[in-house]
Amino acid sequence: MAERATLFEVGPRDGLQNETRFVPTADKIALVDMLTDAGLAEIEVTSFVSPKWVPQMADAAAVMAGISRGAACYSVLTPNLRGFDAALAAGAGKVAVFGAASESFSQKNINCSIEESFERFQPVMDAARGVVPVRGYISCVTNCPFEGEIAPEAVARVAARLRAIGCTEISLGETLGKGRPERVALMLEAVLGEVPVAALAGHFHDTGGLAVENIRVALEAGLRVFDAAVGGLGGCPYAPGAPGNVASEAVLALLEAEGFETGVDAGKLAAAGEFARGLR
């Protein structure tokens, strides 16, 4: 039997959060429903963050209330306890805290230092224990828009802490899409010294056209979960120069070519991609 790999769809969240035009709630719901129908096992739907910081996600509760639930796990970003409480009320199957390996990016994205971010995560971890699994994101795993190259050890330190506080999965965010494969390999080597490979996910933006190559490196290192955005939507409003997540269609093609089983219907995913691109 073919080995399984997971496409973790982040388009509705990481993809749409960067769009300056407000995407109507009904369109967001329709996109998530198409992704459910395409067989995605993991769909990151939205973020329970401050609407002043990310206005596009202001309709998080309405989107969660409107989607048709299928077999997927529907996850959301929760920067603090307030976001967590709202996420739980909205029926999230998984939540995510998000930090960074770079001090400057942490300040720009969540308005606190790395140390302070862990103080904010703790109440979320305490509330989530035994209730929902928590994914932990690390941004800037190779490069930071403000600090340049990030040392692999800095990423490994944050990964070890996220694991220690109880994150079941740690997603390694190559936020800028600038990390060359050899630097991704060094970063993974450092992180794998701290966290078992089964608890890691790769999150590659495709700014420099390197994402698929970097995913190959991560596959070789044993990672089997990859974040991607349908239609290649995406970016981060607090990472200047980070336009697009790697497209789910491209990651699916790679995983299929490498002989992995994903459960995703390529035709339905392509149709969702077309719909997603029309939302821009």
Count of residues binding Mg ion (CB under 5 A)? 1
Among the listed residues 86, 96, 37, the one whose alpha carbon sits nearest the alpha carbon of residue 63: 86
Quote the least distance from Cβ 259 to ligand HMG, whole Å: 28
Dump the DSSP string for 8-34.
EE-IIIIIGGG-SSPPPHHHHHHHHHH
Could you confirm whether 236 is annotated as catalytic?
A: yes
User: Cβ closer to Mg ion: 9 or 14?
Assistant: 14
Q: In the bound complex, which residue of the shown chain has the CB atom lying closest to ligand HMG?
A: 173
Strands 134-139 and 143-144: unpaired
Quote the least distance from Cβ 131 to Mg ion, whole Å: 25
Asked whether position 14 contacts Mg ion by CB under 5 A, the answer is yes
Segment 218 to 247, residues that bind Mg ion, using CB under 5 A: none
Contact 224, 196 (CB under 8 A): no
269 binds, among ligand HMG, Mg ion, none (CB under 5 to 8 A by kind): none
Phi, psi of 63 (to 5 degrees): -65, -45
User: Cβ closer to ligand HMG: 36 or 142?
Assistant: 142
Quote the least distance from Cβ 267 to ligand HMG, whole Å: 27
Binding residues vs ligand HMG (CB under 6 A): 14, 17, 47-50, 52-54, 77, 79-80, 82-83, 98, 109-111, 137, 139, 173, 175, 203, 205, 236, 238
Quote the least distance from Cβ 240 to ligand HMG, whole Å: 13
Distance separating alpha carbons of residues 70 and 64, to the nearest angstrom? 13
User: Cβ closer to ligand HMG: 51 or 263?
Assistant: 51
Quote the least distance from Cβ 175 to Mg ion, whole Å: 6
251 binds, among Mg ion, ligand HMG, none (CB under 5 to 8 A by kind): none
Q: How far is CA 211 from CA 12, 225, 246, in A?
A: 19, 14, 6
User: Cβ closer to ligand HMG: 173 or 232?
Assistant: 173
Instruction: Give the three-class secondary structure for 121.
Output: helix
Beta bridge partners of 171: 137, 201
Token pair listed for 133: 């699994």
User: Cβ closer to ligand HMG: 53 or 260?
Assistant: 53
Strands 148-149 and 143-144: antiparallel
Query: Between the CA atoms of 134, 14, 189 and 117, what dihedral angle is there, to the nearest 10 degrees?
Result: -50
Query: Which residues lie near Mg ion (CB under 5 A)?
Result: 14
User: What residues are labeled active site?
Assistant: 236
